[in-house]
Structure 1
Amino acid sequence: MAKVEINAITSHFQGKLGDIRFRNYLGRKIVVLRRKPSSAPPTAAQQQVYERFLLGAAYAKGALGNPATRAVYAERSKLRQHPVFAVAVSDYLLPPEVKVIDTTDYHGRIGDPVKVTAIDDFEVVGVNVVIRDDTAAVLEQGPAVLVGEKWVYTATVAVPAGEMVTIEATAKDRPGHTGSLSQPWLIA
C-alpha cells in the first residue's frame, strides 16, 4: 500500500485506474494494486468465511434500514473513522464474550450480587445469569442489570452453605449473538 502526497494532480483521484485503486482512509489517500482473482477453488475454511461475510452484509443492510439502529452505528463509525456499513458488519462478525464472573459477594443469600464482566467489539445489550445445583437443575435465572461497567445479577433464591453451584453468564450483542462462561462455586 502506498501513500499519495496530495497535490494539484492527485487531489481529485478517486476510484480505479486500470489495476490501481485510489481510496480515502482516515483522511488520507491510499493507492492499492488490485488483486487478481485466484484460479484455485476456495478451501472449506475460505468458503465458511465468505458465507459469514455474506450473513454479516445481510445483517448490516437490514440493521441500517432501521433509522434508530443506523443512528447508533453512525455514531460509532464517526469515532472509529470507518464506514457505517463496515462497523455493522464487524459487529455481526464478532460475538460478545463473558470475561469474568465475580462471585466474591455471593454467599447463597437472597439479594447477594453476582457481577459479570462482558465485552463486545460494539455493544453488549444484555446478560442473563443461570445458577444450577450440583445435579444441573436450575435454581434460579434472570437478567443482570448494567451498573457502571459490570452487569450485576441479584440472587432471588437462598442456597444453603456447603452446596456446590454452577453459575453461567450469557452475554448478548446487538445482532443477537451470544457468548457464555460457566464457573463452579462452593457456597460458604
Structure 2
Amino acid sequence: MDQTNTKSSSSNKTGYCLPTISNRSAMGDFKRVKSAKDLLVSSSSEDGSKRKKNPQVVCFGELLIDFVPTVSGVSLAEAPGFKKAPGGAPANVAVCVSKLGGSAGMRFDKQARTALAFVTLRADGEREFMFFRHPSADMLLTEAELDTDLIKKSTIFHYGSISLIEDPCKSAHLAAMKIAKKQDAFFHMILI
C-alpha cells in the first residue's frame, strides 16, 4: 500500500489525524474551536499531576465517494440526478482536523477501488443509504497492515461502523481497538 500525507513531517505517520473531538463525558461549556490549540486534553503524568498535551487521533475506516441528490428532501429513487462529494466519516474527521491545523494522512491501495455511497436525507427526516463497495480498499485492510506504533500513541480512536461488518477489515478494526483501549484512548464512533 502507498502512503501519502496531506502535510509532511518526519514525525508524521499515515492513517491518522491530529487532533479532533474531546471526551463528551467531560464536556463543559460550548467552546468554539478555531485551531488545534483549542483541543488540548488533560492527562495525568506519572507523578499524578495534570498536564496538557496534544491529542493523538487515529481515524479508522472508510473514505468514500458520496453521491447526493441534486435536489434536497427526496428519496434515492426520486432523485433526478446526483453530484459526487468526498465522504466517509473517518475521512471527514481527518479533513476537519487538518483544517484546524492538525496533521492528517491516509493509506492508499492502488490495486483497490474506492467505495461509492448514494445517500440522501428525505423530507421526512430519514436518511437513506446504498453502498457499492465489494471489494473496496477499506474492506481489504488486514491486521498485519496496522501501524501498531501509531495506534499505541492514540488518545482518541475515531471510527465508523462500516469497517466492523466483514473480514479482513473487521478483524483489523477489532485488533486496532484492543491496542487503543490498552492506551486508555477515548473511543468515538459514527453509526450510520
Which TM-score band applies after superposition, normalised by the shorter structure? under 0.3
TM-score of the aligned structures, taking structure 2 as reference length: 0.21
TM-score of the aligned structures, taking structure 1 as reference length: 0.22
Q: Whose strand proportion is higher, 1 or 2?
A: 1
Larger Rg: 1
